[in-house]
């Protein structure tokens, strides 16, 4: 019954990030790409929210978008993925919710 | 059996094309007899506010358009109770009859659909 | 873009034969448009055309086929609100043809 939520907008722009976290259900996962990888910025408010999700909610980030924005080693619990793994994730979950 | 889809509309009516796009997907899907749900979330609930005068900025009348949804077969209409409360919108004064859902109910709602898109 | 002349007055049509200015509509215009389609409008047609104009006033958009059927059924009952009846009246494409004759914009969510 689980959903993969895909975010691509900056978590500092509007309420998308907070709403998405609120709607995460049991077994759901989060995939950050584009400007959404800024949520991995250490010591930031969005990153603190991600840490509060706990181990039951996997967090993935697209490695090349993360590298392009100068992201270093991601925090514990965040998995960097390439495009092949991105596709694999989209197939693994029952549905994909793209937050356009 | 056609796959069901939940459309989550979370942009204000006049901030850009997003609200119109979500409505167009709903109307087109309804015309093709897809089982659809439409959820108003975040600023999307402003689409339901009464007394809008879109002609003042030369826009189409979203309130009138939304009333057509049931006629297009889209009858599963929902709004996020929290989004309404945060924005001071009176749930009894909305332009469309929607079912109000709390956060837990929203999570359950998403799980009921085969596909979901947030615009 | 083409033109229709009704009572010596030029009426602008778009490439698909819909009115450019919706305010140009009159019953005489509807008859002239129907004539181009080889259709003679009778009471049963007028009933639907007037209903469609009501739909547009209410919802500010043109219905696709399914919405048209539902609306006609709600207003006139299932004997008239069904695809068979509407297809027969409007040459098999009621949403498009009836919208054109009723002076509505082209339905966008329609095959």
ipTM of the complex: 0.89
CATH 3.30.530 is the classification of domain C2-36: no
| Domain definitions of chain B by residue range | 5-51+59-118
Mean pLDDT of A65-70: 95
Band of pLDDT at residue B61, cut at 50, 70 and 90:
confident
Q: What's the distance, Cα to Cα, between the start and end of chain A in Å? A: 22
Chain B residues inside the 8 Å CB shell of C64: 27, 30-31, 72
Distance (Å, whole) CA B117 – CA C71: 28
Q: Is residue B35 within 8 angstroms of chain C, CB to CB?
A: no
SS3 A8: coil
Residues 6+ apart with CB under 8 A from B55: B61
pTM: 0.90
What one-character DSSP code corresponds to residue B98? -
Band of pLDDT at residue B42, cut at 50, 70 and 90:
very high
Q: What is the pLDDT at residue C76?
A: 94
Task: Give CATH superfamily name and number for A3-99.
Answer: DsrEFH-like (3.40.1260.10)
Q: What is the pLDDT at residue C3?
A: 79
CA distances, A77 to each of A5, A14, C92 (Å): 16, 25, 59
Mean pLDDT of B63-82: 95
Q: What is the pLDDT at residue B32?
A: 86
Q: What is the pLDDT at residue B52?
A: 83
Asked whether B97 and B74 are in contact (CB, 8 A), the reply is no
Query: What is the separation of C-alpha A52 from the centre of its chain, rounded to a whole number of angstroms?
Result: 13
What one-character DSSP code corresponds to residue B104? H
Size of interface A-B (CB pairs under 8 A): 40
pLDDT, tens only, B98-107? 999 999 999 9
**CB atoms < 10 A from the CB of A11, how many?**
26
Q: C48: phi > 0 → left, psi -120 to 50 → alpha, else beta; which?
A: alpha
Considering only CB atoms, A100 lies closest to which of B42, B43, B118, namely: B118
Q: Is residue B65 within 8 angstroms of chain C, CB to CB?
A: yes
Q: C38: phi > 0 → left, psi -120 to 50 → alpha, else beta; which?
A: left
- Options 1.10.10.370, 1.10.167.10, 3.20.20.60, 1.10.540.10; CATH for C43-101 is 1.10.10.370
Considering only CB atoms, C70 lies closest to which of B28, B65, B71, namely: B71
Q: What is the pLDDT at residue B15?
A: 87
pLDDT, tens only, B7-38? 999 999 988 899 999 999 999 999 888 999 99
Task: Give CATH superfamily name and number for B5-51+59-118.
Answer: DsrEFH-like (3.40.1260.10)
Computed over every residue of chain A, the mean pLDDT equals: 95
Residues C7-31 as b or e (16 or more Cβ within 10 Å = b): eeeebebeeebbbeeeebbeeebbe
Asked whether C25 and C18 are in contact (CB, 8 A), the reply is no
Band of pLDDT at residue A76, cut at 50, 70 and 90:
confident
Band of pLDDT at residue B87, cut at 50, 70 and 90:
very high
Q: What is the pLDDT at residue B24?
A: 93
| Domain definitions of chain C by residue range | 2-36, 43-101
- B31 or C70, which is more confident: C70
Output the CA torsion sign for B59, B63, B66, B71: negative
The shortest C-alpha distance from A44 to chain B (Å) reads 23
Q: What is the pLDDT at residue B53?
A: 84
Mean pLDDT of C74-80: 94
Mean pLDDT of C27-44: 94
**Confidence check: pLDDT of C111 > 90:** no
| Domain definitions of chain A by residue range | 3-99
């Amino acid at each position: 019954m689980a959903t993969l939520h895909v975010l691509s907008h900056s978590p500092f722009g509007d309420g998308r990030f907070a709403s998405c976290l609120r709607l995460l259900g049991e077994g759901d996962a989060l995939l950050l790409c584009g400007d959404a990888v800024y949520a991995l910025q250490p010591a930031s408010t969005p990153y603190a929210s991600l840490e509060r999700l706990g181990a039951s909610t996997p967090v993935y980030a697209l490695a090349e978008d993360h590298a392009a924005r100068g992201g270093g080693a991601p925090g514990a619990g965040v998995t960097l993925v390439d495009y092949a793994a991105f596709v694999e994730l989209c197939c693994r979950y029952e549905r994909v919710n793209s937050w356009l | 059996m056609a796959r069901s889809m939940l459309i989550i509309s979370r942009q204000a009516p006049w901030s850009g094309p997003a609200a119109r796009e979500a409505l167009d997907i709903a109307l087109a899907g309804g015309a093709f007899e897809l089982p659809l749900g439409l959820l108003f979330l975040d600023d999307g609930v402003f689409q339901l506010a009464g007394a809008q005068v879109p002609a003042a900025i030369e826009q189409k009348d979203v309130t009138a358009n939304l009333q057509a949804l049931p006629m297009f077969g889209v009858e599963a209409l929902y709004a996020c109770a929290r989004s309404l409360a945060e924005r001071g919108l009176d749930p009894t004064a909305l332009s469309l009859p929607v079912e109000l859902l709390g956060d837990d109910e929203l999570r359950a709602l998403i799980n009921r659909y085969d596909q979901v898109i947030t615009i | 873009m083409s033109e229709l002349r009704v009572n010596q007055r030029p009426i602008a049509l778009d490439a698909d034969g819909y009115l450019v200015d919706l305010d140009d509509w009159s019953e005489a215009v509807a008859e002239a448009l129907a004539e181009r389609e080889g259709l003679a409008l009778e009471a049963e047609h007028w009933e639907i055309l007037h209903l469609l104009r009501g739909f547009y006033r209410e919802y500010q958009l043109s219905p696709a086929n399914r919405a048209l059927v539902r609306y006609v059924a709600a207003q006139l009952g299932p004997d008239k609100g069904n695809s068979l009846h509407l297809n027969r009246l409007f040459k098999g494409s009621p949403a498009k043809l009836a919208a054109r004759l009723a002076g509505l914009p082209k339905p966008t969510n329609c095959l």
